[in-house]
Structure 1
Amino acid sequence: MAEPSTPAGFRPSRGFRREFRDAVTPRASILMLGVLILELAFVVSYIGAFHSPKPSRIPLAVVAPAQPQARAAVVGKLNGLPGRPLSARPADSLSQARGMVLDRSVQAALVVGPARGPDRLLVASAGGPAGVQSLQSVFHKVNGPGRALTVVDLRPPNPADGRGLSSFYLVVGVIVGGYLASAALAMSYGARPANPHRTAIRLGALAVLSVLSGLGGAIVADSVFGALTGHFWSLWWIAALITFATAAAGMAFQVLLGSAGIAVSVLIFVVLGNPSAGGVYPASLLPPFWRDLGPALPNGAGVTLVRNYSYFGGHDTATAWWVLSAWAVGGVLVGFAASLLGKRRAARADGTT
């Protein structure tokens, strides 16, 4: 009877201790430690951002009785609430207050009614239902049981947009595509491009992918599910810019840090970027660190662009455009600068200055 053949690549055990040293190398231990740190950072960031949402200086327009003293008294009372949940400012008329809500100068407007009549709270829940609920809670405490409050929703989400989170999920999706694309190129051809030509080729590939990413995201959000309708071209190019900004920045991190740049991309775009983006909770409900960080990252800027173009005519988006453009241009410039520096170092090492 023939002896069974030994499978290719099989190696008999050399003892647990030696096998352990081979299986868990120092490099593998460092990588596992890095994964643990990212994991804990993820838990800290998401729980820290979402565990106890509290309103903080929510911009509010106030339409009060015509007498300046009465109007100032109402604004002063609202601004003096414990914990400063509101940042109230006067509005001259109902039409002006409506315009301020819809152009995102404020998140809501309070229309003070007659002495025994109800007050009206003008909101736009497409900008974030959680913010509307928080405002209602604040005013129910302020008014008490003796004064009614009527909520008027000037701009609710599309019926297929549920709780107004489609903007956030579209941005999360294309950002994941951006940093994974840069990571895939790094794993295929090395994290650090060999020369400026290779950098240009890699950036060109990422640009093509970004255009396709934006197109796919717009088709899914608009044509397939009907969640964000009527702004197909805007969604396409906004999503393309978000993808490219993330991909170019991810490539820059990899050029500077090697494989560790992938972890930095995850830290910035997932661990810090998603909870601070203003998707689940608007910035006015987040703790200070996340509230201040969000608008400076592609996640927060992207949510602002997608949401405000989908529902508010593109108002209040200038800062978001600048932020995304800065990430995109910065990633390109850092990538080229690092590859040029690497080329010069290689030339000096070869003695061909």
Structure 2
Amino acid sequence: MGKIIGLVVGVTLLGMLFAGSFLGAFHQPEPHGVPVAVVAPGEQVAQLQAGIDQRKEGAFALSEYTTADVARAALLDREVDAVLVPQEGKLIVASAGGRTGATIITSAFQAAAQAQGRPLRVEDAAPLPPGDSGGISGMFYVLALVLPGIALAVLMFQVAPGLGLGGRLGVLAAGSLVAGAGNAWLADTVFGALPGRFGWLVLVSWGISLAIGLVVAGLRKLLGVPGVGVAALLFIPIGLPASGGPLGARYIPEWYAAVGQILPLGPAAEAVRNTVFFDGAALWTPVGVLALWGLLGLVLLALPGRRPQPGVVVPRTPVAA
């Protein structure tokens, strides 16, 4: 009976971990320091910032830009999330960078314009493709790369336990490449959810799955089967909501977003998004985070394995001639 009670308590706590993590991140999305370029003199930008702060302090961070072209370039380079051109009554967003974020920005600035009796038209400089009009495919795509990385690392130890370091690296690299290419084919060619950059998408997908596989394999070697559980819990029920999911990191609690910046799922989603929709802009940071995770896994995988526990040696019985 004690084991049954323990099982029920454990399963309940696991469910509460998932529920608390996801609901804590997503139940009340609010903007936090969302960068917006404003094509206007500094004094006007300061006035606009004061007006925005009266509605929601700290929600948006306005910065001065000299021309609309420079501001638009900053938007497409992922330096800002929107561009406001007050003289033209225009707001430029990039829904491919996050549909929910673009909607929240649009609502906030349209409300401010209406309060002043001014019209505000909206332009989408980087729209979502027809195959992903809701803007949710990217996060699920990354999850579809994480799961094969975990499974490959786990099954490798079961199917070929005697592999050395080189063999394990070869299996992880080859398996991640196949998984990445297969997922990229589905996302680009079949469904059109992440279209137009197939080769680069394959490369980024391979790196994501490989980094996850290296970490899980390293923890599996260092800690045994519990290491896999640690990685799975860290990456999925914690890492997925901490990344901001389909909302984006700027719309969840700031402390949670800070955690998401150092776990691999958030940078992985950012790398996929920037590769497909923004011509590879701002890739250094997310790729660097993934590379550090992969390096950590490689170091753990190269460490000596756990020594077997000493057991009872049973003497052999001589066989009669």
State the TM-score bracket (shorter-chain normalisation).
Answer: 0.7 to 0.9
Q: Is 1:159 matched up with 2:141?
A: no
Percent of pairs with identical residues: 32
**Is the Cα–Cα contact under 8 Å of residues 278 and 303 in structure 1 kept in the other structure?**
no
Three-state SS of the structure 1 residue aligned to 2:84 is strand
5 Å-filtered alignment, 1:265-304, equals 265-304=231-270
Alignment correspondent of 1:62 = 38
Deviations 1:183-214 (A, max 9, x none): 2234556xxx67xx534323321221101011
Three-state SS of the structure 2 residue aligned to 1:274 is helix
Which amino acid counterpart does residue 48 of structure 1 have in structure 2? G
Which amino acid counterpart does residue 244 of structure 2 have in structure 1? G
Q: Is 1:185 matched up with 2:156?
A: yes
Alignment correspondent of 2:217 = 251
User: Aligned to 1:202, which of 161, 168, 184?
Assistant: 168
**Is the Cα–Cα contact under 8 Å of residues 305 and 320 in structure 1 kept in the other structure?**
yes
Alignment correspondent of 1:100 = 74
**Is the Cα–Cα contact under 8 Å of residues 79 and 88 in structure 1 kept in the other structure?**
no
TM-score normalised by the chain length of structure 2: 0.88
Three-state SS of the structure 2 residue aligned to 1:273 is helix
Alignment correspondent of 2:84 = 110
Three-state SS of the structure 1 residue aligned to 2:123 is strand
Which amino acid counterpart does residue 102 of structure 1 have in structure 2? L
5 Å-filtered alignment, 1:1-353, equals 33-64=9-40, 66=41, 68-78=42-52, 81-113=55-87, 119-145=89-115, 146-188=117-159, 198-339=164-305, 342=306
Three-state SS of the structure 1 residue aligned to 2:121 is strand
Any gaps of 5 or more consecutive residues in structure 2? 311-321
Alignment correspondent of 1:350 = none
The alpha carbon displacement at 1:269 in A equals 1.4
Cα separation, partners in 2 of 1:256 and 1:30, compared to 1, 3 Å: farther
Cα separation, partners in 2 of 1:240 and 1:32, compared to 1, 3 Å: farther
Deviations 1:35-74 (A, max 9, x none): 443322111111111100001110100112x5x4334333
Cα separation, partners in 2 of 1:34 and 1:264, compared to 1, 3 Å: farther
**Number of residue pairs aligned between Structure 1 and Structure 2:** 310
Alignment correspondent of 2:315 = none
**Is the Cα–Cα contact under 8 Å of residues 32 and 254 in structure 2 kept in the other structure?**
no
Aligned partners of 2:267, 2:98: CA distance in 1, in Å?
A: 15
